[in-house]
Structure 1
Amino acid sequence: MHFMRNLLSKDSLLNKTNHIYKEISFVSSTHDNVSSSLISVVARLSCSSNMLEGDTGCSLWPSSLFLSEFILSYPEIFSTKCCFELGSGVGLVGICLNYVGASKVILTDGDTSTLTNMKENMELNNVCIKLEDFEELKESKNKVECKYLSWEEASESDLRGYQPDIVLGADIVYDPVCVPHLVRVLSMLLRRDSKQGEVNRKSGDELEMDGPVAYIATVVRNAETFNCFAKAAADAKLSAINIGSSTAPSNFLPYMLSYDRSSVQLLKITLSS
């Protein structure tokens, strides 16, 4: 079994005084009742050494760990799907989406330094990154696109070409000022006139897909902010239900004792019919 540890390297890519390098290993348990397949995923990540200094985008958050476990627990939901993540941070979710065979992975963030760090993390994990200057990567099986996206400035024309099957986010409900912009972006990404999603599980299951869906993992640190998001989502005719208990993912991080899985809510968000 691998354990999370700080990685030291003389490589110039890893020479950052305010960052540490972690290795996150997702491992299957012999008592796993959710995922039927053996999982062995190792993610190497450059992370902020002190999130209190404002480098929150490069920090590793519990919701990102939870969402990654969810993806690895239910690979059939994400396999062959176009997946679009908001506020991708260090890129851990993207690495897991690539592992389960998503047809396309678009990772976005509104902070340029976070985006640069995210791209470096993709390189650390040998994930093929689509860059605008490299057209030959368009047909790559494992391509991942890292894109700058400001929620405040995003327009329908910016997002029209993506038409994702699944939208994801981890710990992106944190600032009431950003909530209206986040809800607007979610609404645009979930709105689609054609290309309905496929049913992944039996009828009536909470993981059934019928059109684009968003999975947002979040820790409710401030009830007022979360209620602000819930109201804004409802006003935008978005249905948001907490499926964290009924579809709890496997515990692929049994060694990470400081990781409190019970504090994370998993919201399934769709356009109301």
Structure 2
Amino acid sequence: MADAEQLLHLKLAFFAGKAGGGSITPHVQNFLLENCTNTNVDGRQSSTYATTIFKRIISEVELSSDVVIDGLYEEFAQHDDVSSRLISVVARLSCSSNMLEGDTGCSLWPSSLFLSEFILSYPKIFSTKCCFELGSGVGLVGICLNYVGASKVILTDGDTSTLNNMKENMELNNLCIEQEDSKVLKESKNKVECKYLSWEEVAESDLSGYQPDIILGADIIYDPVCVPHLVRVLSMLLKRDGRGGETNGKSGDEFETESPVAYIATVVRNIETFNCFTKAAADAKLSAANITSSAAPSNFLPYMLSYDRSSVQLLKITTLSYN
């Protein structure tokens, strides 16, 4: 008799062929959701069996670059022991399907997923804080910041097509993207702004009105030409400007630090570029501490086989004067 794993493969193959012409289309996914999630091979309800089914379906669909329906993500979160015990966030995002043909800012990168997991794992760090993200891409980090109760979220990018896509994603998730002086923004619990920001051109006066408590970035250390401009922007945003006495975390907490502070998640694809960043940061009197091990986030995305969290490093950036 076939075991549960073999039966699952058989079901996927059968339903894909019957309803989707060989692929797990949204139509097939709905069919599977309705017919294959309530019983195991013995006819009894099994949360573990349902979790296995959801994980396999989602992984197969993601690997084929098809669209995963929201219902599958929601059902997986409800059945998975880890996800259901911690948190469940559904984010609707428009992303580029091919990261190699431009539109890199419209793709969902591993560092962005890692940083999002970090935010959801340590919500008290970001709750009631003004958060400013550099190179926000599709906006997933901003959605997570809004979810954990950041007092304000400013998402920025220097590419206009990426910025437009980001704004559309905020609209898909019913997040406010009005101007800062808008009455709607002031009265809304969703305080997310999308701003154009060129690292090369921005002046300190352009940023003086924000004074964020926390600066974030995912996969923004990739081009040695951009590194000096990135470090300059980080230095300007990390200036205290009279702020003091605030902490991010409880007393004795590993995250305890006077604000502002920056958290950057990055994949080291080129060690020379990474070393260029650490040297430029040191020259600018910035401390870049690797906190990947001590700040390992919970695994909220166990069904995403394409997400290799082990390749991501998390850096905590502060000014040397305030360590």
TM-score between the two structures when normalised by the length of structure 2:
0.74
Pair 1:193 & 2:244 matched = no
CA displacement at 1:270 relative to structure 2? 0.2
Q: Write out per-residue CA displacement over residues 184-217 of structure 1, whole angstroms, 9 at most, x where no aligned residue.
A: 00000000132223241332x4311212000000
Q: Counterparts of 1:231 and 1:20 in 2: how far apart (Å)?
A: 42
Amino acid at match of 2:269: R
| 1:22–1:46 contact (8 Å) kept in structure 2 | no
Amino acid at match of 2:203: S
Residue 175 of structure 1 aligns with which residue?
223
Residue 140 of structure 1 aligns with which residue?
188
Residues paired across the two proteins, number: 258
Q: 1:45 to 1:152 in 2, by over 3 A?
A: same
| 1:21–1:46 contact (8 Å) kept in structure 2 | no
Which of the residues 138, 148, 154 maps onto 2:202? 154
Q: Counterparts of 1:106 and 1:199 in 2: how far apart (Å)?
A: 18
Bigger shift: residues 214-223 or 127-136: 127-136
Q: Counterparts of 2:263 and 2:66 in 1: how far apart (Å)?
A: 28
Q: Counterparts of 2:254 and 2:287 in 1: how far apart (Å)?
A: 13
Residue 313 of structure 2 aligns with which residue?
265
CA displacement at 1:259 relative to structure 2? 0.8
Q: Which has the larger radius of gyration?
A: 2
Residue 142 of structure 2 aligns with which residue?
94
CA displacement at 1:131 relative to structure 2? 2.9
Amino acid at match of 2:123: P
| 2:180–2:193 contact (8 Å) kept in structure 1 | no
Cα RMSD, aligned residues only? 2.5
Q: Write out per-residue CA displacement over residues 25-67 of structure 1, whole angstroms, 9 at most, x where no aligned residue.
A: 59486458xxx97301011110112111111010100000000
Q: 1:246 to 1:120 in 2, by over 3 A?
A: same
Bigger shift: residues 73-82 or 138-147: 138-147
Q: 1:248 to 1:206 in 2, by over 3 A?
A: same
CA displacement at 1:127 relative to structure 2? 1.2
Counterpart secondary structure, 2:92: strand
Counterpart secondary structure, 1:48: coil
Q: Counterparts of 1:253 and 1:199 in 2: how far apart (Å)?
A: 26
Residue 61 of structure 1 aligns with which residue?
109
Q: Write out per-residue CA displacement over residues 95-127 of structure 1, whole angstroms, 9 at most, x where no aligned residue.
A: 000000000000000000100000000111111
Which of the residues 71, 90, 93 maps onto 1:42? 90
Counterpart secondary structure, 1:217: strand
Which of the residues 236, 240, 249 maps onto 2:284? 236
Counterpart secondary structure, 2:89: strand
Residue 11 of structure 1 aligns with which residue?
none
TM-score between the two structures when normalised by the length of structure 1:
0.87
Counterpart secondary structure, 2:95: strand
Q: Counterparts of 2:87 and 2:302 in 1: how far apart (Å)?
A: 13
| 1:23–1:44 contact (8 Å) kept in structure 2 | no
Q: Counterparts of 1:181 and 1:219 in 2: how far apart (Å)?
A: 19
Counterpart secondary structure, 1:42: coil
Alignment of 1:69-84 (within 5 A): 69-84=117-132
Q: Counterparts of 1:252 and 1:49 in 2: how far apart (Å)?
A: 22
CA displacement at 1:133 relative to structure 2? 8.0
Q: Counterparts of 2:193 and 2:126 in 1: how far apart (Å)?
A: 16
CA displacement at 1:22 relative to structure 2? 6.1
Q: 1:37 to 1:129 in 2, by over 3 A?
A: farther
Counterpart secondary structure, 1:227: helix
Which of the residues 165, 170, 173 maps onto 1:117? 165
Structure 1: unaligned runs, 5 residues or longer: 8-18
Pair 1:107 & 2:158 matched = no
Q: Counterparts of 2:68 and 2:200 in 1: how far apart (Å)?
A: 32
Structure 1 moving runs of 4+ over 3 Å: 1-7, 19-32, 132-136
The share of aligned pairs that are identical, in percent, is 78
- Quick check: which one's helix share is greater? 2
| 2:136–2:217 contact (8 Å) kept in structure 1 | yes
RCO higher in 1 or 2 (8 Å CA, sep ≥ 6)?
1
